[in-house]
């Protein structure tokens, strides 16, 4: 799969290229259309969505009944915490244990999210053209079979994913309020639960029934709904220096939004959104975390986790009564060693991001995020 972009180079394979034509049209209409400068990219996605139709129909015919009848033997383990807090590192690390099942980079990021059950070889072939590759935000080396984030795939099948806002950023705040805070009516909660259960059921089938390890920062705002679906779900929450998180999240948005977007948004508005999203997501988490039985929640401070990964994993496995730690420990250690070579910053604790922030931004963060900063300091 080697698409062309408006500069006659190759497109980075966008997750949204796995969408159906009907759903693609729905997203365009409900988000106010596409800015003219992005029309070539939109036409490419439209063409891909037409090509996807037989693959999507094939999967639905072959697997819909089986997906509908899935019953998870074990409730999932959810990794939560705002993006850029170490959730991906933790996800990749725990994923070294082969007892876990998860959606993969290949299934999410190269346009195959709606037919990875029905056409797995096609998805693997597409992914082989992209992976392995370093992640632009921190040089973490990504492989096709690495753990990925199901929230990204949800865009292609539902109207309940926050990442819809990365494609249509003019409405990203509204999308956050609707899909994470659920400030609309009850029907939106019901729709999200149905869409989410279907996604996890498809992942369950793709991994042969293994227990699911799900990393999704937005789920920190959905604890009530997740417990409705999975009353015995386990949660691992990771909290990082909020100043570092802000600086890193700005960098993430500066990289991802231009690649994914079909609308223009100015940087000042983007930064205000980041400020709002973090505050609201974390406040909702701290409000709702008491709904989780204490034995089903582990809270980690990122700065304590780095350098003590094995000890932290041992605590998680013991508290959740999970099998396989001893067998997976050598793989954990090898992964940590390899990633430490690439990420010396994981062994540092130096407030570099805080030093780079201008005074106006510092004042904004300290005012808006003070309760969260205080909680981080107290951990």
pLDDT tens per residue, range 288-326: 999 999 999 999 999 999 999 999 999 999 999 999 999
pLDDT at 345: 52
Q: pLDDT by residue (tens digit) across 344-375?
A: 654 454 444 445 799 999 999 999 999 999 99
List the end-to-end C-alpha distance of the chain, in Å, as a whole number: 47
Q: Is the pLDDT of residue 141 over 90?
A: no
Instruction: Please report which residue ranges of the chain form alpha helices under DSSP H.
Output: 21-30, 39-68, 87-94, 105-109, 120-128, 150-154, 164-167, 172-179, 186-206, 223-229, 242-260, 267-288, 302-305, 309-319, 325-342, 352-356, 359-368, 370-378
The answer to whether 45 and 76 have CB atoms below 8 angstroms apart is: no
Q: What backbone torsions phi and psi does residue 219 show, to the nearest 5 degrees?
A: -65, -15
Q: How confident is the model at residue 12 (pLDDT cuts 50, 70, 90)?
A: low
Mean pLDDT over all residues of the chain? 92
Q: pLDDT by residue (tens digit) across 101-112?
A: 999 999 999 999
Give me the residue spans of the domains in the chain.
15-378
Place of tokens 């080697």: 2
- Dist CA 313 CA 94 (whole Å): 8
Q: Is the dihedral of CA 68, 70, 75, 78 positive or negative?
A: negative
The answer to whether 366 and 246 have CB atoms below 8 angstroms apart is: no
User: Which one of 3.40.50.720, 3.40.50.300, 3.30.70.20, 3.40.50.10210 gives the CATH number of domain 15-378?
Assistant: 3.40.50.300
Within 13 A of 170's CA, how many CA atoms are on the CB side? 11
The answer to whether 206 and 107 have CB atoms below 8 angstroms apart is: yes
pTM: 0.93
pLDDT at 344: 66
Our CA angle for 235, 146, 82, nearest 5°, is 40
| Closest C-alpha to 54, from 16, 14, 24, 20 | 20
| Closest C-alpha to 49, from 27, 81, 80, 71 | 27
148's tokens? 């990925």
DSSP single-letter state for residue 110: S
């Amino acid at each position: 799969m080697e698409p062309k972009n408006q500069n006659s180079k190759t497109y980075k394979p966008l997750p949204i290229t796995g969408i159906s034509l009907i759903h693609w049209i729905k997203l365009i209409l409900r988000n106010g259309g596409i800015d003219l400068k992005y029309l070539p990219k939109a036409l490419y996605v439209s063409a891909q969505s037409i090509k996807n139709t037989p693959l999507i129909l094939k999967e639905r015919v072959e697997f819909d009944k089986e997906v509908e009848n899935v019953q998870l033997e074990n409730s999932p383990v959810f990794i939560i915490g705002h993006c850029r807090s170490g959730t991906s590192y933790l996800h990749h690390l725990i994923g070294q244990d082969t007892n876990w099942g998860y959606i993969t980079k290949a299934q999410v990021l190269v346009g195959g999210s709606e037919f990875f059950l029905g056409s797995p070889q096609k998805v693997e072939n597409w992914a082989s053209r992209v992976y392995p590759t370093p992640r632009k935000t921190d040089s973490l080396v990504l492989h096709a079979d690495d753990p990925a984030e199901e929230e990204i795939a949800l865009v292609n099948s539902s109207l309940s994913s926050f990442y819809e806002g990365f494609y249509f950023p003019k409405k990203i705040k509204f999308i956050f309020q609707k899909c994470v805070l659920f400030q609309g009516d009850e029907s939106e909660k019901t729709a999200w639960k149905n869409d989410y259960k279907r996604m996890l059921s498809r992942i369950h089938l793709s991994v042969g029934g293994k227990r699911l390890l799900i990393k999704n920062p937005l789920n920190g705002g959905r604890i009530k709904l997740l417990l409705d679906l999975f009353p015995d779900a386990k949660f691992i929450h990771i909290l990082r220096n909020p100043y570092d998180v802000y600086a890193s999240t700005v960098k993430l948005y500066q990289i991802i939004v231009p690649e994914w977007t079909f609308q223009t948004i100015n940087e000042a508005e983007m930064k205000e959104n980041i400020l709002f999203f973090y505050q609201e997501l974390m406040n909702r988490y701290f409000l709702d975390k008491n709904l989780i039985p204490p034995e089903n929640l582990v809270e980690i401070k990122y700065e304590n986790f780095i350098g003590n990964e094995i000890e932290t994993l041992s605590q998680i496995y013991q508290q959740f009564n999970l099998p396989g730690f001893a067998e997976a420990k050598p793989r954990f250690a090898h992964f940590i060693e390899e990633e430490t070579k690439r990420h010396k910053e994981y062994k540092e604790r130096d407030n570099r991001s805080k030093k780079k922030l201008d005074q106006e931004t510092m004042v904004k963060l300290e005012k808006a995020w003070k309760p969260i900063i205080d909680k981080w300091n107290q951990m």
